[in-house]
Chains A and B, each alone.
Chain A
Amino acid sequence: MNDVLIILFAANGFDKGAQGLAGAGRRLAGESGGSLRAVVLGEGAETLAQEVARVADAVVVADQAELSEYQPETYLNALAQVCRESKPRAVLLGNDTYSQELTPRLAHRLGGSAAGDGVEVRVDGDALRVGRQVYGGKAHAVLELKKSPAVVWLRARSFAPAAPRETSGDVTRAALDIQADTRTRVVERRREAGGESRLEEARVIVSGGRGIGGPEGFETELRPLAELLGAQLAASRAACDAGWVPPTWQVGQTGKKVTPELYLAVAITGASQHMAGISEAKTIAAINTDPDAPIFKHSRFGIVEDYRKVVPLLREKLKRVLGAGF
């Protein structure tokens, strides 16, 4: 079979990531001469499935009681069953926590090959090739996946969305044989403050690094600036590891991969591990005391000054301009 199957979680809705995933799936299905299928898991899957059906050829709803919320072992069992039935050539997932967790294990269960953090995926003869950053963003690799199916999680938001079809795809409900796996169970689920709106969806991001010097700088300087710009707050790994801000704020190779129109890096040096998280940002701007900081090599504009002097003045100036009909 040459079909491409995308995996979506109802809780995330048809966000930019899901749309990008559908777009990537549609192009890959075109290359391999197959159809684009989707499976939607979790409570509320039916609603999302109707939206996805506008861009996919077939959608499977998996929302039975055992799947109402994410449990890794149960979801993995369910997905393995769906894939064994539909026998896709490729299975594509997004870059959320659950997708990253499931990808290698699903590949293993299906006898396939997995890859993660793909920024390109294409058919090359019998093989499937995935492009991704390696060495903390210092190099780019193309991996040739040898086993079938290929199971790949993508940096989904950086892919163009799929165009709607003239007729919607069929929506069917999966009847899966699932035994609850009690070896591991999520017993509590929490959202961090600021975790309500997703960093990955943000159009403007104000981000702070080690040079901010402590949690106060984030609160008294960066937060008011972010509010003024309608921006989300983020941080480098150093600031998160220091405990100044929650780990959910972390941007970089091992944090969030973001795609804003403007990424304002404040007191961030710009180590390659950090840059790996913002390579798809449209415009990067930096405030840093060190003119040789690597961040400036990636910035379209910048200012060499202490952020403590710049930010209050910047807020004042922006308030004046933005207040006048922004």
Chain B
Amino acid sequence: MNILVCLKQILDPEVPARDFRVDAARREAEQGSANLVTNIFCENALETALQLRERAGGATITVLSYGRPTAEDSLRKALAMKADAAALVLDEGEGTPDPLNVARVLAAAIKRLGAFDLVMTGREAGDWGAGQTGGLLAEELGLPCVSFVDGIEVEGGRLRLRRQTDTGWELFEATPPVVVTVTNDEHNVPRIPKVRDVMMSYRQPLTKLTPADLGLAADGNDYYEVAELSIPQKETRCDFAGGDTLDEKVEAFARHVVEVTRGM
């Protein structure tokens, strides 16, 4: 089985709100002192792929990213986690490409890299959170798509996909090739690569391409444009339950609860 996992490098979403700034004119977040990390759902996807390979055997896992030169670090980390091959399409354009641009680039790269039974993305990214890459990629590749997957099993030549829904879960049977978007679950928490493997990963081959290599013109965003980006200012004054004893404090808290629920 040939598996391809798309990875996106993003600004660390754990950066606290008080340190987060935006450049309103460029309509981009400022990196400041924040790290660049691999989007967690992409790592959940990779972890799901690695576990599938361990169980099913014989699978190869290729990781692919479209991003700035720094995205190489995300791919190296994936190699250290034991992905088999890595490719980076360098984003040389200005600003952030829109979801359709991203999907077109990824689709062209995937076609170039080979034939895949399973194409995986994260359900959304922790920066813009558009949640569109997987779906648009499926359309660009002419493949079916299952979203919010948290478990994959191989059964004969088919795949059994478990996915989360609002109220529980659904089990799919799918005939490859198929695109899935992966969500988090207790079973796909990404493994931590060994330091030695991280160092070794920098000696492994990594394919670098540009959109031009894939026959794509560097078009501007014709899907959507970020018109405004701002940090909302809202803070509530918290009324802390006071009192000398625990009982008094809880009493004050309880009074608030009753007040709110009575007014409903």
Contacts and interface: CB of A to CB of B under 8 A. Distances in A.
Interface in B125-160: 126-132, 135-136, 138-140, 144-148, 150
A198 interface: yes
Contact of A187 (B29, B168, B171): B171
Contact of B175 (A103, A105, A183, A285): A183
Interface in B18-38: 20, 22, 27, 29
A313 interface: yes
Interface stretch (A31-39, A54-62, A85-93, A141-149): A141-149
Main secondary structure of the interface of A (DSSP, over half): mixed
B124 interface: yes
Given A183-B178, A241-B184, A272 B170 contact: no
Nearest to B140: A108
B261 A73 contact: no
Interface stretch (B56-64, B68-76, B199-207, B243-251): B243-251
B123 A254 contact: yes
B13 A97 contact: no
Chain B contact residues, majority secondary structure: mixed
Interface residues of B, number: 84
Nearest to A247: B164
A301 B239 contact: yes
Given A140-B232, A254-B183, A309 B246 contact: yes
Interface residues of A, number: 94
B166 A248 contact: yes
A301 B238 contact: yes
Interface of B: 11, 13-14, 16-17, 20, 22, 27, 29, 41, 99-100, 123-124, 126-132, 135-136, 138-140, 144-148, 150, 161, 164-175, 178, 183-186, 189, 221-232, 235-236, 238-241, 246-247, 249-254, 256-258, 260-262, 264
Interface of A: 72-73, 96-97, 100-101, 103-105, 108-109, 113-117, 129, 132-136, 138-147, 181-192, 195-196, 198, 200, 203-204, 229, 237, 240-243, 246-248, 253-254, 256, 261-262, 264, 271-273, 283-287, 291, 294, 296-305, 309-310, 313-314, 317-318, 321-322, 326
